[in-house]
Structures are given as C-alpha cells and as structure tokens.
C-alpha cells in the first residue's frame, strides 16, 4: 500500500505542512548525526535487524547518483530543496564475522513508493548487486507477489558490504527497512499467513453471525454491523498491503483505503442512528458529513491521506460517543457502545504506532489488532442486543396496553349509545350491541340475531344496501351515510350509517355503527325550508326568489318571464298604530290573500318588510296584467281588524316583461322596483308597467349613473379609506383595533357615504372590484406605516357575498398578503350574517382557507337573521358583532338587553369575542362593559375619520 503524509508543493497550505515536517526530520537527523554510527555485525546466529537503527541518512537532489552520495554519507547535510524535489538516502555497513555463507533478504515494509533504489557495495564501493522499484510496476521477477519490497543477497564468510538505499516518495518517510535471515523470513511469512487466516476466519464468523441474524430478524442494525465488519476487514487487508499480491493494483491502494475507511465510518454512523433513534435529523446529517470528510484527501490533499483519515476516524469516533451519551435511552446499550469505540481507539493507536514509529507487525501485534477489532464489533453487537431487548420489553408493554384498550373498547361496544354490529359481506349478522337491538325494536341480542338474520331486512329500500356495498368495495369504508331504515314492526326512520370493511380468513367482514337521526333529519328539513322560505308567511324568501328569477331569466322562453313587484300601501300606519305583532299578522294574512289570487304557474316571495314579488313563467303579458289586477282588487277588498279597529289597505304593483336577453336579472328586478315606486308615486293602489321613458326609467338611469361613478372612482382612485376604532371594554387598550370603512370622493370633492353607492355596486355585481380596492389600499397603507403595523392588533375589512364566492378573489387576497408582507393574524374579515348564509359552502371554504393562515373572521349584524345561532355553529368565526338594532335602545328596552346578554353568553361559550355596534353614548358603553361585551364601536367611541389621519384612542 502506498501511504502518503507529506503534501505536494503546488499548495501553500500543504507546503507549510511539508516545511514543518521537514524541520522535525531535520532535528531528528541532527540527533542521529551526532550519535556514533554502528556497523551491523552478523554471523550464523543472526536472525533479523532493523536497518533504520544503524543507517546514516541524508537528503540529496533527485539528480544525484549513488556515487555522489558516497562522498558525504558520514555527515548529515540539510536539504536545500523541497521534499518534492529531493531523495532520502540511507547507508548502513554490514560485517560478516561468521565462518559460512549467509543468505539474507532486505525488506522494505511499504509498497507503492514513488521510486526506490537499493545498492549493495563491497569494501571498494563497487556495486555487488542493485535493485530498483517504482510505484505500480511491482516486481515480476519474484516467483510470487509479496506484501513488501524484497531484495535477496548472500554474504560470504568475513565479507563486508554496504547497503545504500535511495527513497523518493511524497508520503511517509518513516519506512521500516529490515534485514532478515532468509529461512527465518520464510518462517515469518508462513506464520503471518496462518495469522491472516485466523483473522479472516474470525471476521468471517462475525460477518456470518450478523448477516444470518439480520435475515432472521430483519433488524437494520444487524445489517449495518455486517457491512461495517466487511468494511473493517477490507481496511485491514489493504492496510497490511493486501493489494501487493496484485502489483497492478497497488496504485489504487490510497483510493481503496480511503473508500474502505469511509464505508466503515458511514456504516458505524448508521449503527449509531439505529441504536439511538432520538438523534435529530440535523445531527445525523452532520454525522454523515464528518464521516465523508475523509474523501477530502483524495481530491484536495492526496499526500495527506493517512494523516487526514486518522483525524477523521478519531473525530467520527468522538462524535459517536458524544451522541451515545446525549441520546442514550438504555445504560447497557450505551455502555457496550462506548466500550466498542474505546476498543477501536486502541486499534487506532496501534496503527499510528506502526505508521510513525517503525513498528514491525509481529505475531503479537497482529493478535492485538485482531483482538481490538473483533472485541469492538462484539461490543457493538452486544449494544444492538441490549437495544433489541429494550425494544422487546416495550413491545410487551404496548401489547398489554393494547389488550387493556381492547377490553375498554369491548366495554364501550356493549355500553355505547350508538348501535354497533358486525356482519358478513352477504349480510349475515354476527354480533350486535344492546343499543342496536333496542334501536330496531328487538327484545334482546338473541332475538335480533335470530329474527333479523340478514341486514337486508333493516333497509327500507333494499337498493341502499347494494349502493353501500359498492362504496365499501371501492373505498373500504364510509362515514355518515344517511339512509332510511326499518324497525321490526315495519316503522321507517332515518339513520346515519358508518362502516368499514376488513378482510378475514373466511371472507370480508363489515363493522358498522348506526345512529338514529330522525329528529335531526326533520330539523334539517325544517332548516332547509326556512333557508328558502319566509318564516312568517311561508312564501319564498328574497334569496330563493332571486335564485329562481336568475334561473328563469337565463333560460329565455315563450312567452317571456314576467315579474311583479308589490309594495303594500298604508302598512306603516297599521304597524305604528297597533304594533309589530299586528303588523306580522297583517303580512301573514296578505300573503294568503295574494297566494289565493295567483294563477297556478306563478311563484310568490316576500322580498322585504311589506314587499312581495311574483314570477310568471308560462303566462302571456296580458294574462299577467289581468292577474295583477285580481291581486290589486283582492287586497283592496281585504279588511284588517285589530282591537276593534278596521283598516283598509292597498298595494302598488310594478310590472316588467323580461324579453331582453342583454338585461340581467338584477337589472330587471331594479326595473320592477322602479315601476312599483312609480305606481306608489302616482297615487298608490295601482299597476304600472315598466316603460323606459317614464320616471322609473329615469330612476334606473340614476342607478346607471352610479355605476359610471363607481367605475370612475376605481379607475381614478377616488375612493378613500376611513376607519372607526373599537374600544376594549374588558381590558386595557393594548393596541389598535378598528374597522376600515369606505368613502367615495366625487369629482367636485364631495364625500359620499357608502349607503349611496354600495347597493348599486352590489346590484350590478361591481362590489368584488370595490373589495379588491379596499384590500389593496389597506394593505399598502399598512406596509408603508411599519410603526403603526407593529402596534396594530386587529384591522377589520368588510367583504360582500360576491367576493366570498369568487375564487379569483381568494387568490387575489393570498397574493396581497405576500406582496405587502402583512401578518395574517392582524387582519379580520367581516361578513354580514345574511350574506354569509347565502352561499354557505363557498363562505365556509373561503373562511377555512384564511383561518388556516391565521386570519380571523367577524360575523357582522349578528342577530338580524332567523337562524343566527344555528349558523353561528357552522361558521368558523372568532368575533360576533351584535346588530345595532339591539344596542341603540337597550337602556330603555329590557328585551334588547336580554338579546344582547343572550348573544354574549352564546359567543363566550363558543370562545368568540363580542362587539357592540352603534354605541352612541357613554352610558350604553358602561352598561355593555358591565355585561361583559368585549368591544364597543360607534359614535360614542369615535366617529369615522380618514385612515391617513389615524389618531389612537
């Protein structure tokens, strides 16, 4: 093997290293030069001698010949050139004092030297024998390859000789050169072969043990121990000049040695990671990186191969021991592991001794190396066994816990309020729990298993079971499937069925649970009805009316769709005179009157307080007008009686024919509203057909003007951001809380309130662009005011229903957060309760997207809807803004106070904050604080002001 330590001269760092090394050599040789030099005396009893202890050394240029060296071998000369351009010469005298010829062999214990010259000279300095060796060429004159460089010669009785050796190599200069008696060397070779065989046998046994145990147990630690043993064996063979038996491969010794050492360290690192699994990923990465550091010498400093590898080996070993100490879970595992590495450190010390102190590898040395190698591997194996024992003990504990859990599950199965069952794939019942047989009306489990032998009998519709099996075969499980079931007595009821399929030896089994959801189903149906119908009159509500109207307008028909917009006359008189209760009764009666008068193909809806709408889809225009007259007369003839008082009513009706495909449903609704307004303006209790030239058209034109104004404000950036602060009532003010509001600045500089233009924006579906403007400019202002942003706790931004259902708007906001770097948790999106439930699924999707990022949501105008509490459970909101209609008069109205307290209690129970809107005075604010409301907002706190002029409370 070629072992290098000294660097090449083409690198400053390695050159400095070489200079230091040469200096050390210089001082060591100075000591040799001053000592007395002895000749080597041999006779028939001679065995071996280390030439290095008798040789005189000097450095000379590469061009110097042996004859040049003979002139100055008795005095040491400091080399004038670098190591890369010089050659080390060693000279020793041999005196034969015996009576017979002696066969000798000169051995150089380093293969792959760059250049080696050996000269055997007589007393007259004439060459008796010469030999030259160069790296990678080998000595093919030998009968068989040898692990060392050898030169044989014979000395006759009383013959003296001088051995002159010239060495040129950029690696280690500590090169053991031994003179052997030939027969003794042959015996030494035989002994070393036996020793090597023993070493191979020991390593083979260890490899076989680890490998077979790995195949048996499939434990990764044993596999990596197998690989580590193989790598250690390869390292040992290469280190002992194993490649010398293939002379053509000796040039690859450094590469092979580095690869085997690196492989050994990587395998041992893997062993460490498996023995101590708590080691984090980043430390494992560092561990591997240190192990791979040895490859550095191949690409950067090939002359320092051994030196770097020794340092890397020591560093990796230290890392493994430290990791074992820090992340050890089992004292026994850590103890064996540490002892194993101590044994490897001892082996490392032997290798250092051999490399740097001219140690000859005798039988004792080889035995020590074998012991430390095998002992370290056995210790690692014992550490793995200790780890496995700990793992097995933990597995036993886990199994005991599983058994305990199974017992608990069985108890749950027996005592669960849900019905649980097990059946075969074909429907045969195998087991049921008490809740199951009670649910289906059986006396006990045996009765159900005997009478209801097949689960097919439990389905009201037998096709449901086939659909269920189809889903199970595809997915393996299903959850919450709602089906109609049938009891023993034939009664049908709704259940929620969840089940999963599991393969068994005798076929697939179905494990299911059943919950009676009859009441929930009825409640859901009621909620669905209420979501589309007015709770007072039973007619469609405005949301469903607009949905149906858009659908009909989008599908042109003959005759065209006609629309009536009805507004009761003098309803306010009844409401103000007799109270809200009387008003509700009146609205309910009028709805029945209108419904009884409608033709069969008309759809009635209550659009607002005293407003109704009717859609005709299969009636000619004149017939629609005739039916409108019938409604007019029926309402006029109706008499409302309350507390012995009689009221006469009327109705103003606006009519529009939807025969223009370029006009949207919203525009038609606006036209009908305009026509109704015109009818009321002309004296009430009459019908007015929409005409583009009448006042209603002019009103519509004003709406179009607002559309133009809004577009101009968007293009010319004439919207302005205002803010209205929120005052904390239950804690000290710890930052900025406010709601962002919008104002429009007209061309003449007049500020317009949002109530004047936002309805038009919503009706003409322009509010998405308006919301984008608000989000963009709010985020931009916050990013330009970092000190303000730092103190900001919550900035609330209002969103409308069209924005919530617009996927592009969701992506727009996500991009705005990234563009302006606004922290998500500082932004709260406000959604009006009535808006949130229009498209509940889209609203939920939007809210969940930004909730996951840290944004919060507030439900605005809470309490204004009929199903507020129901939807509060469905929407992931963090804050409830109580409708101002409950706040304004709460000091004088105990019902309003009770409503506010109720909303607060529900919100607190659900972990939500509460905000009171329209707080107009200090007394109301004080009352709200005493009730536990979290925030107050309104003129009593502060009036809206431009955001650019922000002033803290």
pLDDT, tens digit, 9 for 90 and up, residues 51-76: 888 888 888 887 787 777 777 643 34
Per-residue confidence (pLDDT) for residue 32, from 0 to 100: 35
User: Which of 309-318, 552-561, 926-935 holds the top average pLDDT?
Assistant: 926-935
Pairing of strands 86-96, 56-61: antiparallel
Taking the C-alpha atoms of residue 42 and residue 48, their distance in angstroms, rounded to an integer, is 9
Per-residue confidence (pLDDT) for residue 329, from 0 to 100: 81
Average of per-residue pLDDT across 886-897: 88
User: Which of 129-143, 190-204, 748-762 holds the top average pLDDT?
Assistant: 748-762
Lowest-pLDDT range of 135-144, 843-852, 864-873: 135-144
Per-residue confidence (pLDDT) for residue 772, from 0 to 100: 94
pLDDT in tens, 583-625: 899 999 999 999 999 988 899 999 988 999 999 988 888 999 9
Per-residue confidence (pLDDT) for residue 632, from 0 to 100: 93
| Confidence class for position 29, pLDDT limits 50, 70, 90 | very low
Tokens of 846: 């939007």
| Confidence class for position 4, pLDDT limits 50, 70, 90 | very low
| Confidence class for position 722, pLDDT limits 50, 70, 90 | very high
Distances (CA, A) of 327 to 316, 324, 393, 906: 16, 5, 19, 49
pLDDT in tens, 284-298: 888 888 888 877 766
Pairing of strands 827-832, 792-799: parallel
| Confidence class for position 575, pLDDT limits 50, 70, 90 | confident
Taking the C-alpha atoms of residue 794 and residue 929, their distance in angstroms, rounded to an integer, is 20
- On average, the pLDDT of the chain sits at 82
Buried b / exposed e over 391-410, threshold 16 CB at 10 Å, is eeeeeeeeeeeeeeeeeeee
| Confidence class for position 241, pLDDT limits 50, 70, 90 | low
Per-residue confidence (pLDDT) for residue 27, from 0 to 100: 37
Tell me if residue 730 falls in helix, strand or coil: coil
Tokens of 554: 């989008």
pLDDT in tens, 314-371: 888 888 888 888 888 888 888 888 898 998 888 888 877 766 665 666 677 778 888 8
Per-residue confidence (pLDDT) for residue 12, from 0 to 100: 37
Average of per-residue pLDDT across 472-477: 86
Taking the C-alpha atoms of residue 295 and residue 837, their distance in angstroms, rounded to an integer, is 66
> Who has greater pLDDT, 515 or 146?
515
| Confidence class for position 22, pLDDT limits 50, 70, 90 | very low
Lowest-pLDDT range of 83-92, 420-429, 698-707, 783-792: 698-707
Give one DSSP letter per residue of 131-198, joined into a string: EEEETTT--TTSSS--SSEEEEEEE-TT-EEEEEEEEE-SS-S---EEEEEHHHHHHHHHHHHHHHHH
Q: Give me the percent of the chain exceeding a pLDDT of 70.
A: 86
pLDDT in tens, 505-543: 888 889 888 988 888 877 777 777 878 888 888 899 998
Average of per-residue pLDDT across 790-816: 90
pLDDT in tens, 194-232: 878 888 888 889 888 888 988 988 888 889 989 999 988
Average of per-residue pLDDT across 412-429: 82
Statement: residue 696 has pLDDT above 60: no
CB 940 within 8 A of CB 924: yes
CB 667 within 8 A of CB 661: no
Average of per-residue pLDDT across 370-376: 87
Per-residue confidence (pLDDT) for residue 9, from 0 to 100: 33
Per-residue confidence (pLDDT) for residue 141, from 0 to 100: 53
Q: What are phi and psi of 739, to 5 degrees?
A: -110, 135
| Confidence class for position 835, pLDDT limits 50, 70, 90 | low
Statement: residue 37 has pLDDT above 70: no
Per-residue confidence (pLDDT) for residue 655, from 0 to 100: 92
Pairing of strands 419-424, 177-181: unpaired
Distances (CA, A) of 7 to 4, 82, 102, 258, 292: 8, 11, 41, 17, 20
Per-residue confidence (pLDDT) for residue 814, from 0 to 100: 94
Per-residue confidence (pLDDT) for residue 386, from 0 to 100: 86
pLDDT in tens, 149-179: 888 899 888 888 989 988 887 665 567 888 9
Average of per-residue pLDDT across 109-124: 80
| Confidence class for position 783, pLDDT limits 50, 70, 90 | very high
Statement: residue 80 has pLDDT above 70: no
Statement: residue 851 has pLDDT above 90: yes
Per-residue confidence (pLDDT) for residue 11, from 0 to 100: 36
Statement: residue 651 has pLDDT above 90: yes
Other Cβ atoms less than 10 A from the Cβ of 199: the count is 20
Average of per-residue pLDDT across 669-695: 81
Average of per-residue pLDDT across 483-507: 87
Taking the C-alpha atoms of residue 883 and residue 834, their distance in angstroms, rounded to an integer, is 12
> Who has greater pLDDT, 172 or 698?
698
Statement: residue 33 has pLDDT above 70: no
Scanning the structure block, which residue is given the tokens 């395998």?
267
Per-residue confidence (pLDDT) for residue 302, from 0 to 100: 60
CB 898 within 8 A of CB 869: no
Per-residue confidence (pLDDT) for residue 79, from 0 to 100: 40
Average of per-residue pLDDT across 671-682: 81
pTM exceeds cut of 0.75: no
Please list the residues that pair with 642 across neighbouring strands. 645
CB 602 within 8 A of CB 614: yes
> Who has greater pLDDT, 740 or 383?
740
| Confidence class for position 145, pLDDT limits 50, 70, 90 | low
Taking the C-alpha atoms of residue 217 and residue 934, their distance in angstroms, rounded to an integer, is 63
Average of per-residue pLDDT across 724-753: 92
Distances (CA, A) of 625 to 239, 548, 630, 686: 109, 21, 9, 11
Q: What are phi and psi of 690, to 5 degrees?
A: -65, 135
Q: Which helix (H) or strand (E) holds 404?
A: helix 363-415
Which residue in 169, 173, 89 sits closest to 135, CA to CA? 169
Q: In 854-916, which ranges are continuous DSSP H helix?
A: 868-874, 884-887, 894-909
């Amino acid at each position: 093997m070629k072992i290098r330590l000294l660097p090449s001269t083409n690198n400053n760092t390695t050159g400095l290293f070489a200079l230091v090394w040469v200096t050390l050599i210089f001082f060591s040789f100075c000591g040799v030069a001053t000592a007395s030099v002895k000749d080597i005396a041999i006779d028939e009893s001679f065995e071996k001698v280390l030439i290095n202890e008798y040789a005189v050394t000097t450095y000379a240029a590469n061009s110097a010949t042996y004859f040049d060296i003979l002139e100055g071998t008795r005095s040491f000369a400091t080399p004038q050139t670098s190591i890369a351009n010089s050659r080390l010469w060693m000279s020793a005298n041999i005196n034969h004092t015996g009576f017979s010829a002696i066969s000798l062999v000169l051995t150089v214990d380093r293969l792959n030297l760059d250049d080696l010259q050996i000269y055997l000279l007589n007393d007259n300095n004439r060459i008796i024998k010469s030999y030259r060796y160069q790296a990678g060429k080998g000595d093919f004159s030998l009968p068989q390859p040898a692990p060392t460089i050898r030169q044989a010669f014979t000395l006759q009785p009383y013959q003296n000789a001088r051995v002159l050796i010239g060495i040129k190599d950029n690696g280690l200069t500590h090169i053991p050169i031994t003179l052997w008696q030939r027969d003794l060397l042959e015996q030494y070779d035989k002994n070393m072969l036996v020793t090597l065989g023993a070493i191979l046998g020991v390593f083979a046994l260890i490899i076989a043990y680890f490998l077979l145990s790995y195949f048996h147990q499939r434990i990764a630690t044993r596999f990596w121990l197998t690989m580590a043993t193989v790598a250690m064996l390869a390292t040992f063979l290469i280190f002992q000049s194993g490649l010398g038996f293939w002379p053509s491969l000796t040039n690859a010794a450094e590469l092979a040695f580095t690869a085997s050492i690196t492989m050994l360290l990587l395998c041992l690192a893997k062993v460490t990671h498996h023995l101590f699994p708590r080691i984090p990923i980043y430390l494992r990465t560092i561990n591997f990186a240190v192990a791979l550091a040895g490859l550095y010498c191949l690409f950067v400093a090939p002359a320092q191969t051994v030196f770097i590898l020794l340092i890397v080996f020591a560093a990796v070993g230290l890392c493994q021991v430290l990791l074992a100490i820090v992340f050890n879970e089992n004292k026994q595992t850590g103890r064996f592991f540490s002892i194993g590495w101590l044994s490897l450190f001892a082996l490392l010390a032997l290798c250092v001794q051999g490399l740097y102190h001219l140690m000859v590898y005798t039988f004792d040395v080889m035995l020590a190396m074998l012991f430390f190698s095998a002992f370290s591997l056995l210790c690692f194996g014992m550490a793995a066994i200790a780890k496995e024992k700990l793992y097995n003990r933990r597995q036993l504990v886990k199994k005991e816990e599983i058994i305990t859990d199974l017992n608990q599950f069985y108890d749950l199965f027996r005592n669960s309020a849900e019905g649980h069952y097990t059946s075969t794939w074909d429907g045969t019942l195998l087991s049921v729990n008490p809740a199951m047989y009670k649910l289906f009306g059986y006396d006990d489990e045996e009765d159900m298993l005997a009478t209801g032998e097949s689960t097919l009998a439990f389905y009201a519709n037998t096709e449901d079971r086939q659909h269920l099996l189809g889903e199970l075969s595809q997915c393996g499980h299903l959850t919450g499937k709602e089906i109609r079931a049938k009891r023993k007595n034939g009664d049908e009821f709704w259940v929620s069925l969840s089940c999963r399929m599991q393969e068994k030896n005798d076929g697939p089994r179905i494990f299911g649970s059943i919950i009676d959801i009859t009441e929930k189903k009825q409640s859901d149906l009621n909620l669905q009805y209420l979501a589309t119908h007015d709770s007072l009159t039973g007619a469609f509500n405005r949301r469903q009316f607009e949905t149906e109207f858009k659908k009909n307008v989008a599908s042109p028909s003959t005759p065209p769709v006609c629309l009536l917009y009805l507004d009761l006359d003098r309803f306010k008189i009844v409401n103000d005179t007799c109270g809200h209760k009387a008003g509700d009764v009146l609205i309910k009666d009028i709805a029945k009157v209108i419904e009884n008068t409608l033709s069969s193909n008309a759809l009635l809806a209550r659009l607002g307080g005293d407003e109704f709408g009717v859609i005709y889809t299969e009636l000619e225009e004149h017939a629609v007008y005739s039916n409108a007259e019938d409604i007019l007369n029926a309402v006029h003839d109706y008499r409302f009686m309350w507390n012995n008082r009689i009221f006469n009513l009327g109705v103003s009706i606006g009519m529009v024919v939807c025969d223009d495909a370029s006009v949207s449903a919203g525009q038609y609704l606006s036209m009908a509203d305009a026509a109704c307004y015109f009818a009321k303006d002309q004296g009430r209790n009459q019908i007015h057909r929409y005409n583009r030239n009448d006042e209603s058209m002019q009103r519509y034109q004003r709406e179009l003007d607002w559309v133009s104004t809004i577009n101009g404000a968007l293009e010319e950036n004439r919207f302005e951001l205002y803010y209205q602060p929120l005052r904390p009532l239950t804690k000290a003010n710890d930052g900025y809380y406010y709601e962002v509001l919008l104002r429009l600045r007209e061309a003449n500089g007049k500020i317009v309130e949002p109530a004047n233009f936002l309805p038009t924006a919503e009706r003409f579906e322009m509010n998405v662009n308006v919301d984008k403007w608000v989000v963009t400019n709010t985020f931009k202002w916050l990013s330009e005011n970092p000190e303000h942003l730092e103190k900001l706790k919550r900035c609330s931004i209002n969103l409308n229903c069209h924005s919530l259902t617009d996927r592009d708007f969701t992506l727009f906001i996500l991009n705005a957060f990234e563009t302006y770097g606004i922290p998500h948790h500082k932004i709260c999106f406000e959604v009006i309760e009535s808006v949130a439930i229009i498209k509940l699924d889209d609203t939920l999707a939007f809210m969940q997207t930004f909730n996951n990022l840290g944004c919060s949501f507030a439900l605005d105008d809470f309490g204004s809807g009929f199903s507020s509490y129901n939807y509060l459970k469905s929407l992931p909101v963090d804050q409830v803004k109580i409708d101002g209609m409950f706040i304004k008069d709460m000091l004088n109205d105990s019902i309003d106070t009770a409503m506010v307290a109720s909303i607060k209690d529900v919100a607190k129970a659900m972990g939500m904050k509460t905000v009171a809107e329209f707080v107009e005075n200090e007394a109301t604010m004080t009352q709200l604080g005493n009730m536990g409301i979290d925030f107050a907002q309104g003129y009593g706190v502060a009036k809206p002001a431009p955001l650019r002029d922000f002033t803290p409370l």
